[in-house]
Amino acid sequence: MTKMHIGNVADIDRKGSRTLKVNDMEIALFRLSDGEVLAVENKCPHKGGTLSEGMVCGSKVHCPLHDWRIDLHTGKVEDPDTGCVPTFEVEVDPATGAVYLTV
Amino acid sequence: MTLSRKKLVLVGNGMAGVRAIEHLLKLAPDAYDITIFGAEPHPNYNRIMLSSVLAGGTDLSEIVINDYEWYRSHNITLYTGHKIESIDTVNKKVRTGLGVEAVYDELILATGSDPFMLPLPGADKEGVIAFRDIKDCQIMMETSKTYKKALVIGGGLLGLEAARGLLHLGMEVSVVHIHHYIMERQLDQEAAVMLQRELEAQGMKFLLSKQSEAILGKKRVKSLLFADGSSAEADLIVMAVGIRPNTALAQKSGIAVGRGIVVNDYMETNIPGVYAIGECAEHRGIAYGLVAPLYEQGAVLAKRLAGVQGQGYEGSVTSTKLKVSGVDVFSAGQYDEPAGSRALRYQDEIDGVYKKLVISKDKLIGAVLFGDTADGAQLFSLIKSGESIQGKERSLLLGLPDDALKASPSARLEAMADDEIICGCNGVSKGAIAEAITTGGCTSVGQIKACTKASASCGGCKPLVEGLLELYAGDAAVKVKEGICGCTTLGRDEIVAEIKRMELKTVKEVMNVLEWTNEEGCSKCRPSLNYYLGMLWPEEYADEKESRITNERYHANIQKDGTFSVVPRIYGGVTSPGELKKIAEVAEKFDVPMVKFTGGQRLDLLGVKKEDLPKIWEELDMPSGHAYGKTLRTVKTCVGSTFCRFGTQDSIGMGIRLEKEFERLNTPAKVKLAVSGCPRNCAEATIKDFGVVAIDGGWELHVGGNGGVHVRATDLLCVVKTEDEVVEWASAFLQYYRENASWNERTSNWVERVGLDSIKAALDNREDRLALGQRIRTALSVTTDPWKQIVAERELRKNFEPISPIETA
């Protein structure tokens, strides 16, 4: 487990996302409308769609390829589809806005 | 109660046996105390999905059909990792190798089959495996981490699936096959060659007409030697040459065995109280190796055990669908033209489509489909029903069920076989939908969608789903008021009216005021609201980019692998050597993997990495086409009077003028235009949203065409004399469409919904046309080139770049 300082919360638009590579894995970081930052592997369990390009609705993201919905808190795919995406711990320093990702 | 229960023992914890138990539990939940023995250390899992596990994207845990909890909740005693050693058919008792005993009143043998291992010298070396169970799958995954070269012996269904999986694991894979073409048991040579070509393009290699002779190597396999003296190197050899019914236990227990355990139409063996189903069983001389027959057998046996009268099993006509990714292959029945049959063929080498129907005495007895398998289920049910297809051959081959469409829709739905696929996107059968309605209690299309996924993707099957709902639910069918999406019960017109009435100006405001059930909406309503607000308040509304579909947020088309494509704007399809050179140089500089002409006469740069998009736009310095948005796409043109000897008007000039007039326009759905210089219509203007066809001394204006999912030819709107009039009418038509269609509704659907006459009436008066034209110009006046903006603004550009970690904390 490594904890990395990956930047500032301002680097990510609200209801938007940014990506980063850790080893061979691409991780998508989302900033929800309430400011919370969440991270999942950037790969839809269905056909590998890049979730970072999907639409963020509440705390869910819609995969841009076939509209599967993924809960960003749990990584779980919503009914009627099934599956799961790995999630990662993100901490945001409330004072500075620094974002830390644990992988 | 417990005392009266009979004891049922199932030997074999696989798909066939457990499926029969599932059926039995539905029919007679309390009739038996059930004990299941499985040799593998897992609960019941979907063996067919092993290839998906290998091909990636599916986890081993996901292919479990019934988890341990299922066994517990049905009071089933499960022994995993226990192989039955002996059956005492006199005292009705089974005994495992570990000494566990169980007595039975009824015994089901579902011992499946073993992979057939070629008895080659060296076949016992390390690195030689079958492809049959989770363990084989795990070995392949492990091997791929340290070794490179894999050989798969067997070019059948199983072998190709194994090979595809190994390819996905990053190994170099060659398929060794004894026949001179692959999948000869399911395909004819034409289809097999097309399949091979497709798989070769994916990186698979083939060694055909090769008889394996010996496996060489010290401890671990090194290479495979063939009868012709040649050899191939290998770190891993997967034998996938066939399966053999597992009959050893039955044989030594005195149960009659042929190729498999011999059963009658009720799955009974020669010993009373002992049944066999699945791959281990032989029924009327056939041991099946595909899943559908096993399920049919399971259903028959469950009825018998539940004491329900029912028809016996009469054998299955089987069909095959290849699951290898990216390739659609289907075969059913007798595809190899037996004596007395004739075959009809359709072959399209350009699109890679091949179809063959085998007909005997007016009946369809076999079919092979490659590249387009949409008709597979229908053909399969015709083969099974054995009805005459006389007079329908042509429409069946070409996939146009004209006769069938003439019958009343509900009669057609009723006559449809249960396993016919209704929703092609999600593979949902008629039976599954019927079950969702009759036993699942679904009473609306929305519920059926949530329960089965039918019509959840492209929605093309929605009319069929509605028909089935009416058929099975009758009066109980609730015509639930469906809003534009699940977040609201309000329809498009109500929402637009409320936005106008209350002067709502943001997406959030609309959702709040109109009481959305989902606070932040979904991927359907957000883009719609964004569009309606922009259409209603063009000068005030601030476009909400986070509510735009992906292609419009990244201003390029997202492809299946996460890359994007860029289509530079080329007005009217006319370019110059200078422009071409620039595009070529940019494509070379950024290693664009493919440059392709689009259907709309533009150049598509495919496979661009997201982070390269702004750089490419910058270097191209051309508008990037809006080629994938809900907006004006392209204006296709023919040569017209500029060069063509038939051209009556300047179609190129007209096309360029229209494209410049309407570029960047936001519309409810994509909009395509075309201008043809004469009625020969080389620009195919009569399948466009707005088509212009030049005639001598004037222009015909056509609307509502579509060349896509449901091909629709245009309706003639009117005939005008001058180019200015063409623009005037086009502006009025497009703006009227913008103001009245639902989001995502193409002009073809819209014209059919509201009727051409209502559109003609709205545009008839010149004053009204000019007012519509004024409004479309206002909307156009506030559009900007999003590419220039992204290139120039750091804050927008950052979203195309990955984050780089700052330091390790």
DSSP per-residue codes, B581-615: HHHHHHHHHTT-SEEEE-TTS-EEEEEE-GGGHHH
Contact A13 B546 (CB under 8 A): yes
CA distance A73 to A38: 7
Residue B37, helix vs strand vs coil: strand
Contact B809 A100 (CB under 8 A): yes
Residues of B in Cβ contact (< 8 Å) with A30: none
B686 to chain A, closest Cα gap in Å: 31
Q: Are B566 and B512 members of one domain?
A: no
Q: Are B644 and B763 members of one domain?
A: yes
CA distance B548 to B799: 15
User: Which stretches of chain A sit within 8 Å of chain B by CB?
Assistant: 2-7, 11, 13-22, 29, 33, 45-50, 53-58, 62, 64-67, 69, 79-83, 100-101
Q: Is B543 exposed, middle or buried (0-12, 13-18, 19+ CB in 10 A)?
A: middle
Q: Is B522 marked as a binding-site residue?
A: no
Q: Is B644 marked as a binding-site residue?
A: yes
Contact A6 B798 (CB under 8 A): no
Bridge partners, A31 (sequence order)? A16, A37
Contact B450 A80 (CB under 8 A): yes
Contacts of B595 (CB under 8 A, 6+ apart): B583, B584, B587, B603, B604, B605, B606
CB crowding B551-568: b at 16 or more within 10 Å, else e: bbbbbbbbeeebbbbbbb
Instruction: Give me the residue from A6, A16, A80 closest to B803, CB to CB.
Output: A6
How many Cβ atoms are within 10 Å of A103's Cβ, its own excluded? 18
DSSP per-residue codes, B2-16: GGGPEEEEEE--SHH
Structure tokens at B629: 């948005």
Q: Domain for residue B444, yes or no?
A: yes
pLDDT given for residue B439 in this prediction: 84
Q: Domain for residue B103, yes or no?
A: yes
Which residue from B117, B124, B133 is spatially nearest to B63, judged by alpha carbons?
A: B133
Q: Return the C-alpha torsion angle B249, B253, B259, B262, nearest 10.
A: -120
Q: Could you tell me which chain B residue has the CA closest to the CA of A19?
A: B802
Counted domains in chain B: 7
Asked if B615 has any chain A CB less than 8 Å from its own CB, the reply is no
Asked if B560 has any chain A CB less than 8 Å from its own CB, the reply is yes
Contact B804 A20 (CB under 8 A): yes
pLDDT given for residue B402 in this prediction: 46
| 3-state secondary structure labels for all residues of B25-36 | HHHCCCCEEEEE
CA distance B68 to B112: 21
Residues of B in Cβ contact (< 8 Å) with A50: 558, 562
B522 to chain A, closest Cα gap in Å: 6
Structure tokens at B276: 């066999």
Q: Are B648 and B775 members of one domain?
A: yes
How many Cβ atoms are within 10 Å of B729's Cβ, its own excluded? 22
CA distance B652 to B642: 8
CA distance B354 to B549: 35
CA distance B643 to B663: 26
A1 to chain B, closest Cα gap in Å: 11
DSSP per-residue codes, B776-807: HHHHHHT---HHHHHHH-HHHHGGGS-----E
In angstroms, the Cα distances linking A48 to A52, B65, B320, B561 are 11, 23, 26, 7
Q: Domain for residue B717, yes or no?
A: yes
Contact A20 B802 (CB under 8 A): yes
Give the pLDDT confidence of B132-188 residue by residue, as tens digits: 888 999 999 999 999 999 999 999 888 998 998 899 899 999 999 999 999 887 888
Contact A80 B520 (CB under 8 A): no
Q: Are B93 and B40 members of one domain?
A: yes
Find tokens 């193409």 and name the residue.
Answer: B746
pLDDT given for residue B50 in this prediction: 83
How many Cβ atoms are within 10 Å of B764's Cβ, its own excluded? 10
Residues of A in Cβ contact (< 8 Å) with B519: 58
Give the pLDDT confidence of A61-97 residue by residue, as tens digits: 999 988 899 999 999 998 778 899 999 999 999 889 9
Give the pLDDT confidence of A20-54 residue by residue, as tens digits: 998 889 999 999 988 899 999 999 998 899 999 99
Residue B510, helix vs strand vs coil: helix
Q: Where is the domain boundary, B476, B510, B531?
A: B476
Contact B799 A13 (CB under 8 A): yes
Q: B59, B325, B519, B523: best mutation site toward chain A, by most A Cβ within 10 Å?
A: B523
B615 to chain A, closest Cα gap in Å: 18
**Distance of alpha carbon B394 from its chain centroid, rounded?**
26
Q: Could you tell me which chain B residue has the CA closest to the CA of A17?
A: B799
pLDDT given for residue B322 in this prediction: 65
What CATH code is carried by the domain that includes residue B384?
3.30.390.30
CA distance B195 to B764: 55
Longest Cα–Cα distance in chain A: 41
Q: Could you tell me which chain B residue has the CA closest to the CA of A60?
A: B522
Contacts of B186 (CB under 8 A, 6+ apart): B156, B157, B320, B329, B331, B335, B368
Contact by Cβ (8 Å): B668, B745: yes
Asked if B451 has any chain A CB less than 8 Å from its own CB, the reply is yes
Give the pLDDT confidence of B656-668 residue by residue, as tens digits: 999 999 999 999 9
Residues of A in Cβ contact (< 8 Å) with B57: 45-48
Q: Are B777 and B650 members of one domain?
A: yes
Q: Are B639 and B779 members of one domain?
A: yes
Instruction: Give me the residue from B526, B610, B808 closest to A55, CB to CB.
Output: B526
Q: Domain for residue B789, yes or no?
A: no
Question: The dihedral of CA B194, B199, B203, B206: what is its sign?
Answer: negative
Range of the domain at B505: 492-548
Q: Are B450 and B348 members of one domain?
A: no
Residues of B in Cβ contact (< 8 Å) with A55: 523, 526-527, 546-547, 549-550
pLDDT given for residue B730 in this prediction: 97
Q: Is B458 marked as a binding-site residue?
A: no
Contact A83 B799 (CB under 8 A): no
Asked if B526 has any chain A CB less than 8 Å from its own CB, the reply is yes
Q: Domain for residue B807, yes or no?
A: no
Restricting to B residues 470-489, those with a Cβ less than 8 Å away from any Cβ of A are none
pTM (global) more than 0.80: no
In angstroms, the Cα distances linking B81 to B37, B95, B246 are 8, 13, 17
Q: Are B768 and B703 members of one domain?
A: yes
Asked if B520 has any chain A CB less than 8 Å from its own CB, the reply is yes
pLDDT given for residue B2 in this prediction: 47
CA distance A31 to A11: 10
Q: Are B399 and B453 members of one domain?
A: no
What CATH code is carried by the domain that includes residue B438?
1.10.10
Q: Domain for residue B793, yes or no?
A: no
Q: B546, B547, B609, B798: best mutation site toward chain A, by most A Cβ within 10 Å?
A: B546
B56 to chain A, closest Cα gap in Å: 9
What CATH code is carried by the domain that includes residue B666?
3.30.413.10
Residues in chain B predicted with pLDDT less than 70, given as ranges, are 1-3, 57, 321-326, 399-409, 424-426, 456-460, 477-482, 625, 807-809
Which residue from B242, B239, B232 is spatially nearest to B206, judged by alpha carbons?
A: B232
Instruction: Give me the residue from B452, B520, B558 closest to A58, CB to CB.
Output: B520
Q: Is B409 exposed, middle or buried (0-12, 13-18, 19+ CB in 10 A)?
A: middle
Contact B57 A55 (CB under 8 A): no
Q: Domain for residue B481, yes or no?
A: no
B785 to chain A, closest Cα gap in Å: 21
Residue B505, helix vs strand vs coil: coil
Contact A64 B558 (CB under 8 A): yes
Q: Could you tell me which chain A residue has the CA closest to the CA of B611?
A: A19
Chains A and B form CB pairs within 8 A to the count of: 102
Residues of A in Cβ contact (< 8 Å) with B561: 48
Q: Could you tell me which chain B residue has the CA closest to the CA of A65?
A: B560
Task: State yes or no: cis peptide before A80, omega within 30 of 0.
Answer: yes
Contact by Cβ (8 Å): B355, B345: yes
CA distance B421 to B374: 9
Q: Are B95 and B182 members of one domain?
A: no
CA distance B269 to B251: 12
pLDDT given for residue B3 in this prediction: 56
B323 to chain A, closest Cα gap in Å: 14
CA distance B777 to B731: 8
- Listed in sequence order, the DSSP H helices in B505-554 are 507-513, 525-536, 550-554
CA distance B35 to B37: 7
Asked if B99 has any chain A CB less than 8 Å from its own CB, the reply is no
- For B449-576, list the strands marked E by DSSP: 557-558, 564-566
Q: Domain for residue B458, yes or no?
A: yes
Contact by Cβ (8 Å): B641, B655: no
CA distance B547 to B149: 47
CA distance B804 to B799: 13
Q: Are B537 and B463 members of one domain?
A: no
How many Cβ atoms are within 10 Å of B358's Cβ, its own excluded? 24
Find tokens 């392949």 and name the residue.
Answer: B140
Which residue from B452, B409, B457, B460 is spatially nearest to B433, judged by alpha carbons?
A: B452
A18 to chain B, closest Cα gap in Å: 6
| 3-state secondary structure labels for all residues of B704-765 | CCECCCCCECCEEEEEECCHHHHHHHHHHHHHHHHHHCCCCCCHHHHHHHHCHHHHHHHHHC
**Distance of alpha carbon B586 from its chain centroid, rounded?**
34
Instruction: Give me the residue from B550, B560, B808 closest to A47, CB to CB.
Output: B560
Q: Where is the domain boundary, B443, B476, B509?
A: B476
CATH class of residue range A3-102: mainly beta
pLDDT given for residue A87 in this prediction: 95
Q: Is B442 marked as a binding-site residue?
A: no
- Listed in sequence order, the DSSP H helices in B267-407 are 291-306, 376-385, 393-398, 402-406
Contact A15 B807 (CB under 8 A): no
